[in-house]
Amino acid sequence: MPLLKVTIDNIEVEVEAGTTIMNAARKIGGSVVPPAMCYYSKLEGSGGKCRTCLVKVAQGSAKDPRPMPKLVASCRTLVQDGMVVQNITSPEAMESRQAITEFLLLNHPLDCPVCDQAGECHLQDLSYVHGLQETRTVEERRTFKPIDIGDKIKLNMNRCILCYRCVMVGDQITEKRVHGVLGRGDHAEISTHIQRAVDNDFSGNMIDVCPVGALTDNTFRFKSRVWFTKPFDAHRECKKCSGKVVLWMKGEELLRVTGRKDKYGELEEFICNDCRFDHKETGDWVIEGPRTIERHSVISQNHYLTNPGDAVRIVK
C-alpha cells in the first residue's frame, strides 16, 4: 500500500494509512510530538479524553486542501495524504494547551512536594511548560480522602484527571475489571464501590499507566523521592509475565519495581504483581545494568531549565 505524506511543523514524514497524527509525529520525534495525558499506545481505544494533544490541521489533504475548522485531537485523527499539521508552530494550539492545562489543574491539588509521582508526573511536566503562574479560580476544589484499592495500590482521587487508562488496564490486562468511573460530570470518580477489591495478577500496571499521582504503589509510598533512586534493568524467570523490569535502588536497598517505560513514559511490557510487589530482594533478580531514563522530568535533579519559556517556543 502506498505511504501517505504528512507534514508536521514543517517536517515531512511518510506513514502507513491508518496512522494517527500523534503516531506520525512520534515517528519524527522531538518537540513536534504533542503531549498525551490519556492516549497510551498499548491500550486499545485509549485517547480522546484529555485534549492535551490538540493540533491544528492547516491543510486537510492534497485532494482537499481546506484547513479543518477546529483543532483536532492528534491521538484520534488519522492522517491523510498531503495533510499539513501544526503543533508547536501553531499559536492557537499552544493557547489551547495552556487552557487545557489550566482545566486539568482546576481540581488538582498543588501537593507535588508530598506526592510520590513527583519527578515522573506528566501533569507536572505539562504545567511546567504550559501552566499559568497563578490560579484564576476561587471555587473550592473537590476533595476525597485517599483510600486503598487492593492492599498494594493507594488511590488519591484528588489527583485523578479521569484519563481512563487504569480502567482500560482493568479491562484489557487483568482477568476481571472491578473498578471504573462512577458518577458523571463533577461527581465522576474512580472507584471500586467495595474498597480493597483490586487484586488481579496484573492490577499493579494501573500504577505505571496513571499519568499523575492518583494511583501509587503502597509498598513504595514516601520511601524516597524518585530522583534519589537509581534505576537498573533486571529480569527474572516468571511464569506470568516477561519478568523484565526496572529496579529502583537507593544504595543497596531495592525500593521499588516497575515495568520498563519508553521515552513517552509508556510501558514496553506489562508486568505481573508477583514481580512488582513480591520480589524486593536484589537476589531475586538478574541485574543487567543501569537504565537510562530517556524522558527527563522537569524536576530531575540538575535538569531545571534556566528559563522555563525556552521549553516551548512558537516556531514560525
C-alpha cell at 284: 531475586
Give 225: exposed, middle or buried? Use CB within 10 Å, 0-12, 13-18, 19+.
middle
Of 210, 212, 187, 202, nearest to 46 (Cα)?
210
Among positions 24, 118, 166, 226, the unique one binding ligand SF4 when judged by CB under 6 A:
166
Q: Please, what is the minimum distance in Å from the beta carbon of residue 166 to ligand FES?
A: 14
DSSP state letter for 3: P
Q: Which of 14, 28, 51, 284 binds ligand FES (CB under 6 A)?
A: 51
Q: Which option in ligand FES, ligand SF4, none does residue 168 bind, with CB closer than 5 to 8 A by kind?
A: none
Provide the mask over 52-91, with x wherever binding to ligand FES is found by CB under 6 A and - wherever it is not: xx-------------------x-x----------------
Residue 50 is a binding residue for ligand FES (CB under 6 A): yes
Candidates 7-15, 136-144, 161-169, 256-264: pick the segment binding ligand SF4 (CB under 6 A): 161-169
Between the alpha carbon of residue 70 and those of residues 52, 66, 93, 98, 262, the distances in Å are 14, 12, 10, 16, 31
Name which of residues 195 to 214 contact ligand SF4 (CB under 6 A).
Answer: 209-212, 214
Residue type, 206: M
Cα 156 to Cα 146: distance, rounded to the nearest angstrom: 4
Q: How far is the CB of 235 from ligand FES (least distance, A)?
A: 31
What part of residues 37-66 is at the interface with ligand SF4 (CB under 6 A)? Answer: none
Beta-carbon contacts of residue 119 (< 8 Å; ≥ 6 apart):
225, 226, 227, 297, 299, 300
Report the interface residues with ligand SF4, using CB under 6 A. Answer: 160-166, 190, 209-212, 214-215
Report the interface residues with ligand FES, using CB under 6 A. Answer: 36-39, 47-53, 73, 75
